[in-house]
Amino acid sequence: MSVVHIDAGAAVGARRPDLAATAAFLRACRGERPATTPVWFMRQAGRVLPEYRRLRAGIPMLDSCRDPELITEITMQPVRRFRPDAAIFFSDIVVPLVALGLDIDIVAGVGPVVAEPVRDAAGVARLRELVADDVPYIADGVRSLLRELGDTPLIGFAGAPFTLASYLVEGGPSRNHLRTKELMYSEPKLWHDLLDRLAGITTAFLRVQVDAGVDAIQLFDSWAGALSEADYRRYVAPHSAKVLGAFAGQVPRIHFGVNTGELLAAMGEVGADVVGVDWRVPLDAAARRVGPHRAVQGNLDPAAVFAPHDVLDAKIRDVLARGTAAPGHVFNLGHGVLPETDPGVLAHIVDVVHAG
Alpha-carbon distance values, 285 to 243, 264, 279 (Å): 27, 10, 12
307 near ligand CP3, judged by CB under 6 A? no
55 near ligand CP3, judged by CB under 6 A? no
92 known member of a binding site: yes
Q: Residues 19, 42, 158, 251: which binds ligand CP3 (CB under 6 A)? A: 42
Q: 38 or 46: whose CB is closer to ligand CP3?
A: 46
Question: Is 43 a residue of the active site?
Answer: yes
285 near ligand CP3, judged by CB under 6 A? no
CB of 184 to ligand CP3, least distance (A): 18
CB of 282 to ligand CP3, least distance (A): 21
Q: Name the active-site residue from 119, 134, 143, 167.
A: 167
Q: Residues 16, 43, 81, 288: which binds ligand CP3 (CB under 6 A)? A: 43
CB of 113 to ligand CP3, least distance (A): 10
Alpha-carbon distance values, 350 to 39, 133, 170, 304 (Å): 7, 38, 37, 14
Question: Is 231 a residue of the active site?
Answer: no
128 known member of a binding site: no
Site for ligand CP3 in 217-276 (CB under 6 A): 220, 222
Question: Is 207 a residue of the active site?
Answer: no
AA identity, residue 122: A
CB of 158 to ligand CP3, least distance (A): 9
Question: Is 56 a residue of the active site?
Answer: yes
Contact 166, 203 (CB under 8 A): no
92 near ligand CP3, judged by CB under 6 A? yes
Q: Number of residues in contact with ligand CP3, rule: CB under 6 A?
A: 19
Q: Which stretch binds ligand CP3 (CB under 6 A): 108-116, 196-204, 243-251, 276-284?
A: 108-116
**CA dist., res. 242 & res. 148, Å (int):** 32
**CA dist., res. 98 & res. 293, Å (int):** 37
Q: 9 or 111: whose CB is closer to ligand CP3?
A: 111
Q: Name the active-site residue from 43, 81, 280, 288.
A: 43
192 known member of a binding site: no
Radius of gyration of the chain (CA): 20
181 near ligand CP3, judged by CB under 6 A? no
Site for ligand CP3 in 59-88 (CB under 6 A): 61, 88
Residue ranges for the binding site for substrate? 43-47, 92, 167, 222, 335
Binding site for ligand CP3 (CB under 6 A): 42-43, 45-47, 61, 88, 90, 92-93, 106, 109, 111-112, 157, 163, 220, 222, 336
Q: Which residues are catalytic?
A: 43, 47, 56, 92, 167
